[in-house]
Amino acid sequence: MYKTETINIKTDFETGIEKAVALIKAGEVVAFPTETVYGLGANAFSEEAVRKIFKAKGRPADNPLIVHVADIAQAETLGEISDKARMLMEAFWPGPFTAVVRKKAGIPDVVTAGLDTIGLRMPKNPGILEVIKRSGFPIAAPSANISGSPSPTEAFHVETDMAGRIPLILDGGHTEYGLESTVCDLTSDTPLILRPGAVTAEDIKELAGMVEISASVLQPLNENETAASPGMKYTHYAPNAQVFVVKGPKESTVAQIRKMYEKDESGGGKPIVFCFASDSVYFKDMNVLTQGKDVTEVARSLFKNLREADAMACTTVYFQAVPETGIGLAVMNRIIRAAGFKLILVK
């Protein structure tokens, strides 16, 4: 058991960074904000330190970690960077873009779950960049939640999941995007999106001229299929409440949600509706969490709202589907997993 300390790096940057660097150098695990979600980081070169991440999260060992670097030069020491990969890194780094490339020797197998590829990302948050630079190590880091629960977008989410399991949390306020980075396989000619994020399929296509989206982004894997991105095979982002995604024309989704909501309520449940602020008029007399005015705001508030639904002891969440374009694809990828693929299509 650790006594977990939280340091606000907006007000106490130096203190926080110094402590984080000392702990990382000592082989410990530290939680920190990035522009996507909070991460749980350790020295990527140390097998022992990385094992502590898996232990703190309760993460299955066959799910590889992303390695965070300070620049493209450091990425080159860890993976084979093709011209196309470099072009995308130059365009999207620092930022929510993880490049999966062939791995070079050096990073222990525990980080990459024995794969011959490695996921590399240069994050935008100045705190973590400073920790990488000052410690001299690339930082292996998954999202800082207990495996299976929604990713943390605020420091108190990390405290909820990690108190006693790690020594330090750096608090940088609410993260910018609220969803994890785009994971893009660059080992063949056409970039393949394994997990959508704020760097969109459209963004990648514009630069690379082509892009593919893995079928597993919106569909469950068949039993005998192997996951290109092992993380996609696990139940994910799931709150205690049961989540239903309702998709179709607005009037029909409103009617469907109303019907299911009323049934839940009369059965003693506590349902809640997640919808755009402008649609809350349709659910006036009901329990509602508004998600913002556009899809970017929905992305930013999604994980926070899922945690909030649990805090309110809701039994079911009804989520109005968003269009699967731009960052909407990332929103649908996460919510559909939170729902265990319970998609209700109405006409």
Write out the residues near ligand TXA by the rule CB under 6 A.
Answer: 34, 36-37, 39, 63-66, 96, 98, 100, 112, 115, 117-119, 121, 123, 141-143, 180-181, 183, 194-195, 229-232
Of 30 and 295, CB closest to ligand TXA: 30
Q: Whole-angstrom Cα distance, residue 310 to residue 317?
A: 10
Q: Choose from ligand TXA, Mg ion, none: what does 195 bind? Cβ within 5-8 Å by kind.
A: ligand TXA
Task: Assign 3-class secondary structure to 42-108.
Answer: EECCCHHHHHHHHHHHCCCCCCCCEEECCCHHHHHHHECCCHHHHHHHHHHCCCCEEEEEEECCCCC
Q: Whole-angstrom Cα distance, residue 84 to residue 103?
A: 16
DSSP 221-232: PPTTPPPSSGGG
Of 185 and 264, CB closest to ligand TXA: 185
Angle at which helices 83-92 and 201-208 cross, to 10°: 130
Q: Choose from ligand TXA, Mg ion, none: what does 147 bind? Cβ within 5-8 Å by kind.
A: none
Of 231 and 271, CB closest to ligand TXA: 231
Quote the least distance from Cβ 164 to Mg ion, whole Å.
20
Quote the least distance from Cβ 256 to ligand TXA, whole Å.
31
Q: Choose from ligand TXA, Mg ion, none: what does 101 bind? Cβ within 5-8 Å by kind.
A: none
User: What does the CA dihedral 104, 108, 110, 116 come to, rounded to 10 degrees?
Assistant: 20
271 forms beta bridges with: 316
Residues binding Mg ion (CB under 5 A): 143
Quote the least distance from Cβ 298 to Mg ion, whole Å.
19
Q: Choose from ligand TXA, Mg ion, none: what does 200 bind? Cβ within 5-8 Å by kind.
A: none
Of 16 and 197, CB closest to Mg ion: 197
Of 112 and 200, CB closest to ligand TXA: 112
Q: Choose from Mg ion, ligand TXA, none: what does 100 bind? Cβ within 5-8 Å by kind.
A: ligand TXA
Of 112 and 143, CB closest to Mg ion: 143
**Is residue 156 a contact partner of residue 164, using CB atoms and an 8 Å limit?**
no
Q: Choose from ligand TXA, Mg ion, none: what does 305 bind? Cβ within 5-8 Å by kind.
A: none
